[in-house]
Amino acid sequence: MRVPTPVAKSQKTMDAYHQEALDSGLKDRTLLAQLWPFMKPHGVWLWLGIVSITLGAGLSLLRPLIMLHAIDGSLKTHDPDLIFWGGMQFATVALCEQLLQFAQTYAVQVLGARSMADLRVSVFAFLCRLPLGFFDRQPVGRLVTRVTNDVDSIQELFNSGALNAVGDLLRLFGVVAIMLSLDASLSLVAFAAMPVIGLLMVWVRRRARDAFRSIRGETARMNSNMNEQVNGVALIQAFGQERNKAIEFDGINSSYRDSNIRSIKYDAIQDAAIDAVGSVSLASIIVALGYHGASFGTVVALTAYLAQFFEPISQLAQRYTLLQSALSGAERVFGLLQVPDRDAPERTSIAIADGSREWALEFDHVSFGYKPDYDVLHDVSLEALPGESIALVGPTGSGKTTITALLLRLYEARQGTVRVHGRDVTGLGRDELRRQFAVVPQDVYLFSGTLAQNVAAGEAPDLARVEQVLRQMDIYELLGRRPGGLETVVRNGGSNFSSGERQLIAFARALYRNARILILDEATASIDSQTEGRMQRALEELLRGRTSIIVAHRLSTIRKASRIVVLQKGRVVERGTHDELLQQNGLYAALHELQFSREGSAAPLDEASQRAAAPPAPPAPA
C-alpha cells in the first residue's frame, strides 16, 4: 500500500474542494419549465419565431409536390409552359422560405439573448443575497462560470435554433404523410430504418449529457484556477512557481479537452449513423423500385422527400445533443438558484428577544462557529452605551473580526443574542440593520471606479461632500494630489494605492456614510509614524459623536476607547478601562508592557498572550 505523500494529500483536499456535484437532481422537464419565466416577458419574439417556423415548414413541404406536378404534367402534355410555371412557383416558395428563415432566426435569437440577459441578472442578484458562509465554500471562478458560461450554454439553445425542433417535427410528420399518400409501400421500406435511429438517440443521450456535465464542471475549474492565479501572480512570480502553476493549469485543461473530445465523439457517431441509415434507406427504395412500378415524377418526389425526411431527423438529433449541453448548463444555474439560504432574512418568530434600548450594542452570551461543530466564539457578552467606544483587543485568531461580522449579521450567532439599539438583529431587516453601520474592514477592498466613487461607496458621489470629508480628515492633500485628483481610477481592488492610503480611503468612506455606529477593524500592518499621526486625526473625526467598536492593534487607538474588552481564543478574558486593566496585571498588562518595551514588534499581542498563558517562572535561586 502506498502511503500518501503530503503533496498528494493536499492535492486531494483541494480536489475535493473544487469537485462539484455534477447532477443537480432536477428533472429535464423541471429545468425547461424554469426557463419559461425568463422567456415569458419576451413572448412576442417567441410567437413570431413559432409562426415563421411553422409557415416555413409548411412551405418546404410544397417544393417536391411542385416538382412532381411540373415533371409528370409536362411529360403527359408535352407543354413546356408547365415546367416554366413550375419553376416560377418553386422559386417563389423558396424565396418565401428564406424570408421566413430570416424572421425565425432573428426572433429566436433575440428571444434567447433577452431572456438569458434576464436570467444572468437574476442569478447575479441571487448571488448577492446569499449569506457570506456560502461564499466561504465556493471558489469565485465557479460562481463566475454560472453567470457567464453556463448561461451561455443555455443561450446556445436559442442561437442554434433549438426552437426549430418544432419545425423539424412538423416537417417530419408532413413528409411522412405525403410520402405515404404518394406511395405507401415504397415509403414503408424507407421508414424501416426508424427504430435504429431511435435506439441510437437513447444510447447517445446519457453519454452526451455526462460529457457536457464534465465540460461545464471543468470550465468552472478552469475559471477558478485562472482567477486565483491572476490574483496571485505577484506571489507566483516571487516564489518562482510559474512552472508548477502552468502544470496545474495544464492538468485542468487536459481534463477539459478530454471531456470535449468525448462530446465530439458522440456527436460524430450520431451524425455518421444517421447519414448511413439515410443512405441505406435510399438504396432500399432503389432496390424496391426494381420490383415495383412508379411514375418518374413520383420517384423524383419520393427521393426529394426522403432527403427531406432525413434532414429533420439529423437536425433533431443535433438539436438533441445541444439540448443536452444546454440542460447541463441549466442544471448548474437552476441548481444554484435552489440554494435555500438568504442573507440575513428578517425573522418575526417569538424567539426574538429584544432587550433594553439603553445599550447601543449588546452581545448577550453569544457563541458562534463558522463550522457547525467548531466554535470560535464562546459565551461572549459585551455591550456599549450610545456614543461609547469599545476596543476589542486580543491575539490573532481570537475572534475580534468575527464579533464585528456578527454585529452586521454577516453570520448568525449559534447561541445567544446580538442586539443593536435594543433590537435583536435577527428581527431587523437587512437594510434597516446595516444602514446603522459604517465599516472600516481589516482588509480594505476598493471597488473599480473612481476615488470619489469609492469614498461614496457605491452611491453617486457628491464631489463637494467627498472633498469636505477628505479635508475634515486632513487627507485631501495626500489623496487629492494624484494627477487624477478625486477622479483617479481605482484598479484591481485598489492595487494602485498603498495599503496605508487604502485604509485612509476606508476611513473617509465611513465618515461619508455618516452612520450611527462605526465598526473599525484596524489593520495589523505597521505604518510609518507620519501616516500614523494622520490616521489618529482621521480616526478622531470618525469617532466623534458615534458609538463605535474598534478592533485595536495600536495602543494609541486603544487609549481612546471608553472601555476595553480583551479576548483570547474566543472568550472574553478581561474588561475594563486602560487603568483598571493595567492594575489587573493580566493579558492586557502584559501586552502593554511589551508594546512599550519593544516598540515596533510585529505581533506584540501574540507574545503577550503566550506570556500570560505560561506558568510563572520559578523563583531564581538565591
| Under 8 Å between Cβ of 316 and 164 | no
- Range in contact with ligand ATP (rule: CB under 6 A) among 356-364, 392-400, 415-423, 497-505: 392-400
Q: Which is nearer to Mg ion, 82 or 439 (CB)?
A: 439
- Range in contact with ligand ATP (rule: CB under 6 A) among 175-183, 242-250, 398-406, 612-620: 398-406
Give the amino acid at 311: E
Q: Tell me the helix, strand and coil percentages in the chain, rounded to 5.
A: 65, 10, 25
- Range in contact with ligand ATP (rule: CB under 6 A) among 46-54, 192-200, 381-389, 390-398: 390-398
Q: Which is nearer to ligand ATP, 131 or 386 (CB)?
A: 131
Which residues ranging from 439 to 478 are in contact with ligand ATP (CB under 6 A)? 442
Binding partner selected for residue 136 from ligand ATP, Mg ion, none, CB under the kind-specific 5 to 8 Å limit:
ligand ATP
Whole-angstrom distance, CA of residue 306 vs CA of residue 176: 9
Q: Which is nearer to Mg ion, 401 or 601 (CB)?
A: 401
- Range in contact with Mg ion (rule: CB under 5 A) among 226-234, 291-299, 401-409, 425-433: 401-409
Within 13 Å of residue 250, how many CA atoms lie on the same side as its CB? 6
Binding partner selected for residue 376 from ligand ATP, Mg ion, none, CB under the kind-specific 5 to 8 Å limit:
ligand ATP
| Residue 429 beta carbon to ligand ATP: minimum distance, rounded to whole angstroms | 24
Query: Mapped to the 3 state alphabet, what secondary structure does 391-446 carry?
Result: EEECCCCCCHHHHHHHHCCCCCCCEEEEEECCEEHHHCCHHHHHCCEEEECCCCCC
| Residue 582 beta carbon to Mg ion: minimum distance, rounded to whole angstroms | 24
Q: Which is nearer to ligand ATP, 362 or 521 (CB)?
A: 521
| Residue 404 beta carbon to Mg ion: minimum distance, rounded to whole angstroms | 8
Binding partner selected for residue 494 from ligand ATP, Mg ion, none, CB under the kind-specific 5 to 8 Å limit:
none
Number of residues that bind ligand ATP (CB under 6 A): 12
Answer yes or no whether residue 524 interacts with Mg ion by CB under 5 A: no
| Residue 377 beta carbon to ligand ATP: minimum distance, rounded to whole angstroms | 8
CB atoms within 10 A of CB 370: 13
| Under 8 Å between Cβ of 604 and 591 | yes
Q: Which is nearer to ligand ATP, 34 or 401 (CB)?
A: 401
Whole-angstrom distance, CA of residue 437 vs CA of residue 516: 6
Residue 367's DSSP bridge partners are 415
x/- mask, ligand ATP, residues 405-444, rule CB under 6 A, reads -------------------------------------x--
Residue 564's DSSP bridge partners are 391, 576
Answer yes or no whether residue 376 interacts with ligand ATP by CB under 6 A: yes
Taking CB positions, which residue lies at the least distance from Mg ion?
401
**Sheet bearing 377-384, strands edge to edge:** 377-384, 361-368, 415-420, 423-424
Binding partner selected for residue 318 from ligand ATP, Mg ion, none, CB under the kind-specific 5 to 8 Å limit:
none
Q: Which is nearer to ligand ATP, 54 or 442 (CB)?
A: 442
Among the listed residues 237, 396, 492, 577, the single contact to ligand ATP using CB under 6 A: 396
| Residue 231 beta carbon to Mg ion: minimum distance, rounded to whole angstroms | 20
Among the listed residues 400, 434, 575, 592, the single contact to ligand ATP using CB under 6 A: 400
Among the listed residues 229, 231, 253, 401, the single contact to Mg ion using CB under 5 A: 401
Whole-angstrom distance, CA of residue 353 vs CA of residue 424: 6
For helices 184-191 and 164-182, give the axis angle rounded to 10 degrees. Answer: 140
Q: Which of 280, 294, 308, 336 is nearest to 120 (CA)?
A: 336
- Range in contact with ligand ATP (rule: CB under 6 A) among 43-51, 63-71, 328-336, 391-399: 391-399
Whole-angstrom distance, CA of residue 216 vs CA of residue 246: 21
**Which one-letter DSSP state was computed for residue 461?**
P
Rg of the chain, C-alpha, whole Å: 35
- Range in contact with Mg ion (rule: CB under 5 A) among 167-175, 252-260, 328-336, 437-445: 437-445
Q: Which of 132, 113, 336 is nearest to 216 (CA)?
A: 336
Which residues ranging from 202 to 241 are in contact with ligand ATP (CB under 6 A)? none
Q: Which is nearer to Mg ion, 200 or 410 (CB)?
A: 410
Residues 6+ apart with CB under 8 A from 225: 141, 248, 249, 252
Q: Which is nearer to ligand ATP, 303 or 401 (CB)?
A: 401
Q: Which is nearer to ligand ATP, 253 or 401 (CB)?
A: 401
| Residue 157 beta carbon to ligand ATP: minimum distance, rounded to whole angstroms | 38
| Under 8 Å between Cβ of 504 and 527 | no
- Range in contact with ligand ATP (rule: CB under 6 A) among 96-104, 166-174, 397-405, 430-438: 397-405
- Range in contact with ligand ATP (rule: CB under 6 A) among 114-122, 215-223, 393-401, 526-534: 393-401
Residues 6+ apart with CB under 8 A from 3: none
Answer yes or no whether residue 397 interacts with ligand ATP by CB under 6 A: yes
For 425-457, give one letter per residue: b (16+ CB within 10 A) or e.
bbbbebeebbebbbbbbbebebeeebbbbbbbb
Which residues ranging from 124 to 183 are in contact with ligand ATP (CB under 6 A)? 136
C-alpha cell at position 545: 459623536
The continuous run of DSSP H or E covering 587 comes out as helix 587-597
Binding partner selected for residue 89 from ligand ATP, Mg ion, none, CB under the kind-specific 5 to 8 Å limit:
none
Burial class (CB in 10 A: 0-12, 13-18, 19+), 146: buried
Whole-angstrom distance, CA of residue 113 vs CA of residue 111: 6
Binding partner selected for residue 370 from ligand ATP, Mg ion, none, CB under the kind-specific 5 to 8 Å limit:
ligand ATP
Position of cell 519593544? 598
Looking only at the bridges linking them, the beta strands covering 563-568 and 571-576 are antiparallel
Q: Which is nearer to Mg ion, 229 or 442 (CB)?
A: 442
| Residue 394 beta carbon to ligand ATP: minimum distance, rounded to whole angstroms | 6
Q: Which is nearer to Mg ion, 270 or 389 (CB)?
A: 389
CA distances to 18, 117, 620 from 219, in Å? 11, 20, 66
Among the listed residues 321, 398, 426, 609, the single contact to ligand ATP using CB under 6 A: 398
Among the listed residues 153, 402, 454, 531, the single contact to ligand ATP using CB under 6 A: 402
Answer yes or no whether residue 138 interacts with Mg ion by CB under 5 A: no
Cα-flanking dihedrals φ and ψ of residue 391, to 5°? Answer: -100, 130
| Residue 539 beta carbon to Mg ion: minimum distance, rounded to whole angstroms | 17
Whole-angstrom distance, CA of residue 150 vs CA of residue 330: 7
C-alpha cell at position 599: 516598540
Residues that bind ligand ATP (CB under 6 A): 136, 370, 376, 394, 396-402, 442
Residues that bind Mg ion (CB under 5 A): 401, 442
